[in-house]
Amino acid sequence: MSVLTLASDPKDATALEGAEAHHARLAGELAGRVKLLLTAVDRDPSAAEKIHAGLVAFCDRSLLPHAAAEEAALYPVAHGLPEARLLIESLIGEHRCLTALVDALRAAPGPAGAAADARALQVLFEEHVAKENGLVLPLLAMTPEVSLAELLADMHHRLAGDSPAAGAQGDPNIKEGQDMHEQVEETGGCGGVCGCGGTEETSEPELDVREVPHALRHATVFGALDAVPAGTAMVLVAPHDPLPLLAQIEQRSPGTFSVEYLERGPEAWRLRLSHR
């Protein structure tokens, strides 16, 4: 069944698709940062310290404000629907768990001690947004007396700075509804060009997204690159030459990363992405 069939209004259909895309971006960025932290702990403790700090900053800047905006804008309306009441109370409880895991990351004495909490945070967040995408958002979109587009616009305003939780460092990339839908259309989606895997003996952290869901792959790479400190590098391994992905990286961060091919097929392409 299509999104247009599920939604009671075309604007809500677009808003639903945009919210799901934004969830994919958040989950992908989190996955990329966590993966880079886990690999750097063993390979480069100095880089791991910076990646750990960046992960906490990402949670404070994006993940926690997103949860707070949901509770303020979406959850009260969904809680008023009898069929969603218990689910919303459960999701609020998961927000508390997410906050506790971020606090544990923040208090961890070092990246090695934070690794387990980081992985737990990733798993919980992915399960959390799956429930929102599969249950809460479609229910709101199908309810004629509810405007999902307006609710998500309210969330956007809160994330843009109206909410104290967003603060002065609100993520400029966070957009819900139509804005995020347009952003996804411009980038062209994943297109299946960035599945990667394999290993290489190097002190630099690697990103292996072979098991990452298709919709999260590019966001996972972007999130990992955001965690690469200046003057260091990340190794990406792909089953083909990822030229479309490299073009998106350059468009997203012009001149920031240099690319060095370590291996050019035929079964694996290994690339070092160095943060200048």
**What's the rounded Cα separation, in Å, for the pair 71 and 233?**
38
Which residues neighbour 200 within 8 Å (Cβ) at sequence distance 6 or greater? 206, 235, 237, 262, 270
Query: How confident is the model at residue 243, as a pLDDT?
Result: 87
Residue 74: DSSP 8-state: T
- The pTM is what? 0.74
Query: In which order are the strands placed within the sheet that holds 233-238?
Result: 206-207, 233-238, 269-275, 257-264
Q: What is the dihedral of CA 167, 155, 135, 105, to 10 degrees?
A: 0
Query: How confident is the model at residue 180, as a pLDDT?
Result: 31
Query: How confident is the model at residue 203, as a pLDDT?
Result: 64
Query: How confident is the model at residue 214, as a pLDDT?
Result: 67
Do 194 and 209 contact (CB within 8 A), yes or no?
yes
Query: How confident is the model at residue 259, as a pLDDT?
Result: 94
pLDDT by 10-residue block (mean), the chain, 276 residues: 56 90 88 88 84 94 96 96 96 97 96 94 96 94 93 91 42 35 33 34 66 69 83 82 88 94 85 92
Three-state SS at 223: helix
